[in-house]
Amino acid sequence: MANEITAKEQKPKKKIKTIHSFGKRKDAVARAAMYPGKGLITVNSMPLNLWGTEFSRMRVQEPVMLTPELSKDFDFRVTVRGGGYSGQTEAVRQAVARCLAEAGNKETRQRFVDYDRNLLVVDPRRNETHHAGSASRRGSRRHEQRSKR
């Protein structure tokens, strides 16, 4: 009977909830995992304050700044591949925002949409493929310059 009382008195352990999400921009794809922690963000196994430029770090922190009450209790581990530094920045930003939106409520989603819709929605624009018969550089529809004389 003593064992039953101690079992009832013990608080149940917090269930660790991990949320996975992704973000895409141009050719860059970011995969993010959000799990309970202290509010740290790591990108490609590197702390955010060492990754990228100052501008790109600020862009990644935007969704965290929009939801400080939610994001301070979670850590983010992000892996990003492909594209350039600008596309990777936008992909990481979107992946982090999608994790926060899934963990939050409708107000959180609406806050992201009101601030910038691209935080939650993938931009469908892609580079156009090369068309035969055109010049090799400067765009897929560019033609060779012709001389009249």
Residue 51 domain-assigned (yes or no): yes
Q: Which residues of 34-55 are buried (b: 16+ CB within 10 A; e: fewer)?
A: beeeeeebebeeeebeebbeee
Residue 137 domain-assigned (yes or no): no
pLDDT at 98 over 80: yes
Task: Say how many domains are in the chain.
Answer: 1
Read off the pLDDT band of 113 (50, 70, 90).
Answer: very high
Cβ-based neighbours of 22, under 8 Å, separated by 6 or more: 29, 30, 31, 32, 95, 98
77-96 residue pLDDT tens: 999 999 999 999 999 999 99
- The residue with tokens 């033609």 is 143
Residue 3 domain-assigned (yes or no): no
3-62 residue pLDDT tens: 555 544 444 445 558 999 999 999 999 999 999 999 899 999 999 999 989 999 999 999
Residue 90 domain-assigned (yes or no): yes
Sort 100 into a burial class: Cβ within 10 Å, 0-12 / 13-18 / 19+.
buried
Which residues constitute the domain of residue 63?
17-116
Distance CA 144, CA 135 (A): 5
Residue 148 domain-assigned (yes or no): no
CATH number at residue 24: 3.30.230.10
Residue 9 domain-assigned (yes or no): no
